[in-house]
Structure 1
Amino acid sequence: MGNPVTTRQLRAVSTRLVLDHVWDVDEVTGSALIDATGLSRATVHDVCDELIDQGWVVELESLRTGSDRSKGRPARRYAFDARAGVVVGVDAGQHRVSAVAADLRGATLARTELPVGPDDATPERRLALVEQAALVALDGAGTSPRQVLAVSVGVPAPVDREGRTSFQDNPFWALMNPDLATRLHDRHRWATLVDNDANLAAVAEQWRGHGRDVRSHVTLLAGERFGAGVVDDGRLLRGAHGGVGEMRYLDFVEGVGSATGVAALVRDDARAQLRRLDGRAGSSLQDVDPARLDAEQVFAAAAAADPLAVSVVEHAAALLARVVATFASIYDPQRVIVAGAVAASCEPLLELVRQELDRYVDPPGIEVLASALGGDVVTVGAVKRALDHVREHALDIAPATLRRQPEVPDWIPPGV
């Protein structure tokens, strides 16, 4: 026989049942909780009292009016306290660091964005920017750092299950993730999760985007470099070292040749073609300062039938179709979602990709869609990852106790 179930274990199961139900509804009566969980009335109310003491739940005022007092004891009403704590989602990109503070149902409380400059290319400055972005977002939300229940950070590097980048042959990856999880935890005692930015984009699409109604999809971050988050049968794939979705293999794909992303490809190709015009009329893009030219302007010009822009977009579409075809061969997704800042303007490109794609895939019919989550897709996924962590470990967290802890002393990061 196995070990007998202890009273403590039974209590934990009861607490989880009640907390999960309260978390997902606006408010609930004790009677409704009894029906939903199958627990006794005494157990339900005892558990709710414990959750109130811990800071997870609040008891609402009775709806009973003065004229109803003859009808017996009023029903006790409970609600999950979505402001019992906060989570922070960070997109620690190569050129910007953005952070969102959110409540425990994922509603955004405040957002901030910091540029990454040439002087920020050190591990110390990288950590300082991530910390600063998180603290500014918390300040904007009117929230103390003590109320943070989890922080999730997305980085443009492969990340293993412990939040570390194990690959040793890429200095850029090492810079993007200088063991952020350990350093933020040591500094603030925050539960810190670090993940690949494309993985978090896939989490965001599965939560609030085009991945909600399919079991298998690939989310492709397509800015300066390609990176992919892969969801198969509802589960995010990682690999032994977090390398699933890394795109270095594109160096060996005929007609592609590198992991350079759509935004960079379109911008750089347009600039090159404009230089070849050498002042001769031929494109509306000649009116744009080459230093400020970006993919969005090229897509807009292509939609207006500018011949140079159309040529650039056709070339990028042929390349992207081959990239998507490799996903079809390796992962067999139902849907590929192009995400990141480029998604808002890339529909002219994707229309050509859809026309081209069936040449390469069998069976045909993979959907290729632009994300509707915009440039915030990674922070949305980071918030979701942090929320999932808090919910999984809720029985080990007492928000009311955290709020009574002393603040971490002020710290001035190097170079700030």
Structure 2
Amino acid sequence: MMFTFSPRSNDLRERLLAFMDEHIYPNEARYFQEAEELGPWKVYPVVEALKPKARELGLWNLFLPPSPHGPGLSNLDYAPLCEVMGRSHLAPEVFNCSAPDTGNMEVLERYGTAQQQKAWLQPLLDGEIRSCFAMTEPQVASSDATNIESTIVRDGDAYVVNGRKWYTTNATDPRCRIAIFMGKSDPANPDRHRQQSMILVPMDAPGVRVIRPLPVFGFYGVPDRASEVEFDNVRVPADHLLLGEGRGFEIAQGRLGPGRIHHCMRLIGLAERMLEIMCRRTLSRKAFGKLIADQGVTIERIAESRIAIDQARLLTFNAAHRMDTVGNKVAKAEIAMIKVAAPNMACKVIDWAIQAYGGGGTNNDVGLAAAYATARLLRLADGPDEVHRQQIGKLELAKYR
């Protein structure tokens, strides 16, 4: 089918492209330098300098679906905007559209009480604080979320939270004020998907300890402020529970669907940028008497990259359209398909770009190394390829059983 976008989406895309040219691309080197020099425990000044400019131009919180707090864009209308922002690691946070804050804001808007929204959602929408999502654990296979061992136990007018989490993005950020923590509140429940709850845990609560930042392929801070966090007998007021006991898995599914498609949208933009770098590089360098661009293997890889990016983009547009028209639950096959297709596509395109660029492609001077780290980690984040393929295969077989 042909996908068309609203006039508002088209206008925002043009404004985003202009902002990227004027403010994002010229500041990328500074961004990577600050991340390397300041490390994962600091705020990067370039990000804070650019946020007000984006907000003044109305390029802020574009990810939120129709709601009292958002611009009211559909998933399909947001797709080309997210792609533009995905072209640079610097961009998403500048526009207040970076993970995991986007998913956490959607959770708070969808499932939070008025009190929870006032305390945490509004400061997140304003870009005043950051948040983290504490789900993955080092001691269990977290691809199966029913494996989690962390606990949320009622004690009078509070819950006591215990557990060790890792790959908890943003936890080292000094502005990180709140964690959405998933743990078992009813481990004896025969329904494995009703054993879990989610609760809001202030990061300054006694017993919360950020143990260490975790590098992603040697990168600290960019592309991910991955962290390991310990929750040791943390007492949290009972009114910090989200939605109700036993509904953690339900919240997780509601959160991860939009998060997965956002990752894929950004990856398409990143892959597009890497293809552009590959083309420009190979048109400017000669080897064995002719341009690298004229070598047969280079032409073939550029062609295959063009095909793969466009395939992934159309698959993502289709998933966004399905989410808008039939809902995330019915569109689960389409979401799973893009979650497999987009990271694998991006890994291949970026790998070819590194190969075409030469040794310099491995040192991150032009962002190729960080781009590959991003694409590779997204074959695991929000569910590994194998889990999504399993779901896709079962849904396909169900048609014929």
Q: If the TM-score is normalised by the length of the shorter chain, which range does it land in?
A: under 0.3
TM normalised by structure 1 equals 0.24
Larger radius of gyration: 1
- More helix by proportion, 1 or 2? 2
TM-score (norm 2): 0.25
